[in-house]
Homo-oligomer: A and B are copies of this chain.
Amino acid sequence: MNEHNPFALENTLSLLLEGKKYASLRDVLSTMNPSDIAAVFEKLPEDSLPLLFRLLPKGLAAETFVEMQPDNQELLIRGFSDSELRDVLDELYVDDAVDIVEEMPANVVQRILSAAAPDMRKDINNLLNYPENSAGSIMTTEYVSLRTSMTVGDAITHIRRTGVDKETIYTCYVTSERTLVGTVSVKTLLLARDDTEKIVDVMEPNVISVTTQTDKEEVAQMLSKYHFLALPVVDTETRIVGIITFDDAMSVMEEEATEDIEIMGGMTPSDKTYLRSSPFDLFKHRIPWLLLLMVSATFTGMILNIFEEKLTAVLVIFIPMLMDTGGNSGSQSSVTIIRALSLGEIEFRDILRVVWKEVRTAVLCGIVVAVACFGKVMLIDHLIMNNPGVTPLVGLVVCATMVVTICVAKLIGCTLPMIAKKLGFDPAVMASPFITTIVDAVSLLVYFGIATFVLHL
């Protein structure tokens, strides 16, 4: 019984390797799960990888290969003989083979394609042609296909004969002249009272499907929403061309959430895990936004330049608080809206409802923050810090600015991501760092505007 502790065996394997106990190594590895073997391989010396990999039984070797990082896969492929490469490829599902091919340099791709069986080569090439992020690019062509005229007994026999190479046998797709007309689960087949019932009578005729062009994020959400094991992918004539299974959908969900979070945090998204990213990788993903935002902060600088003679110390001490509160209010709204857009909870047509909701929320937040702020200014800045310039009138200016800033920030925060989506951009790009810059500029303008008016500067 393995509790979840994939690295407990790392030292044991290392010692067995040093002691050249290959038979025992093989036995130990054979008890492990492919994901865990791949994780342990990451931790062992790179030059022992080809040897370790060759110790694995064939099926386990291929499954482990799929779970490995691209650089280790490349290292192994470069060391494989043609027949070894063919053996691994024969055991792979087409969608996994495509994932690997997409990560390899051109000369390795050539070797893979020439080693693959003709059918698989054709499938790989077909799948490579679908646009990135489309359902076509992540589907597999290995599914169980049944005909309407089969009986339940025929279907079970068919699955037993052909199922071994299919990515899932649990949902079968019923076709009539390649057009998808229904689905039937193995549960239905096994639980059918009568083996002579026709498939057409037990199948579910209302098939929910996606097209090859559907966005993979939408596919993942549909699998999650409907609790399906797999979703069929059809072409423009509703002929089934592949399926996408729940495990691929889970990877997509995880990747898309990570991507959204990275973009919201002001970075360009990265495929590599953190520990595998070099400082230069991290630098490349972070520097564009840092530069852009530094330059865009020029606006706030210009505003302060313009109001130079009004920059009394009393007003300046509240600038950080106003800017931070504005930035926080804006990112609260933008982050909420971006996530709701990602999960398909709202669409562009909801924009008026969203704006109305945010305006009311902003007024509530603005009033409460302003009242608290007035108390804070009078207590801390006026009394405790004993700053004579901080009069109740200054406090009022600060609080009035606060209310306006929060309202503007929430309005910008909710509308920009929706407009971005409508225009075909990733809404996450409109998240906090970008909105902060706009809100900063607006809050300064409002601040000096109100101050000029109220304090007669």
Contacts and interface: CB of A to CB of B under 8 A. Distances in A.
A279 B224 contact: no
Interface string A240-262: 00000011011101100110111
A194 to B, nearest CB: 12
Interface in A157-184: 159-160, 163-164, 169-170, 180
Contacts of A150: none
Interface in A310-358: 311, 313, 316-321, 323-325, 327-329, 331-332, 334-340, 343, 345-346, 350, 353-354, 357-358
A107 interface: no
A233 to B, nearest CB: 12
Given A229-B229, A290-B365, A305-B387, A267 B313 contact: no
Nearest to A353: B275
Given A250-B249, A357-B279, A437-B324, A210 B4 contact: yes
A189 to B, nearest CB: 9
Interface stretch (A27-35, A70-78, A82-90): A27-35
B317 A320 contact: no
A196 to B, nearest CB: 16
Q: How many copies does the complex hold?
A: 2
B187 A328 contact: no
- The binding surface of chain A is classed by DSSP as helix
A159 B188 CA distance: 12
A258 B343 contact: yes
A187 B210 contact: no
Nearest to A187: B169
Contact of A4 (B187, B222, B251, B295): B222
Nearest to A444: B320
B368 A331 contact: no
A280 B302 CA distance: 37
B279 A364 contact: yes
A369 to B, nearest CB: 5
A279 B339 contact: no
Contacts of A337: 274
Contacts of A187: 163, 169-170
Nearest to A2: B208
A1 interface: yes
Interface stretch (A44-52, A114-122, A281-289): A281-289
A401 interface: no
Contacts of A444: 320
Contact of A329 (B32, B290, B365): B290
Nearest to A364: B283
A25 interface: no
A255 to B, nearest CB: 10
A227 interface: yes
A350 B190 contact: no
A340 B272 CA distance: 11
Given A35-B227, A282-B358, 15 more contacts: A1-B180, A4-B218, A35-B226, A253-B253, A258-B339, A264-B264, A273-B340, A290-B332, A294-B372, A295-B372, A304-B319, A304-B320, A319-B320, A331-B433, A432-B432
Interface of A: 1-4, 31-33, 35, 156, 159-160, 163-164, 169-170, 180, 186-187, 190-191, 206-211, 214, 218, 222-227, 229, 234, 238, 246-247, 249-251, 253-254, 257-258, 260-262, 264-267, 273-275, 277-280, 282-283, 286-287, 289-291, 293-295, 297-298, 300-302, 304-305, 308-309, 311, 313, 316-321, 323-325, 327-329, 331-332, 334-340, 343, 345-346, 350, 353-354, 357-358, 360-361, 364-365, 368-369, 372-373, 376, 380-381, 385, 387, 406, 432-433, 436-437, 440, 444
20 contacts: A1-B206, A1-B234, A4-B218, A35-B227, A169-B190, A170-B170, A246-B250, A249-B250, A261-B264, A265-B331, A274-B345, A274-B354, A282-B357, A283-B361, A290-B328, A290-B365, A300-B320, A308-B317, A311-B311, A331-B432
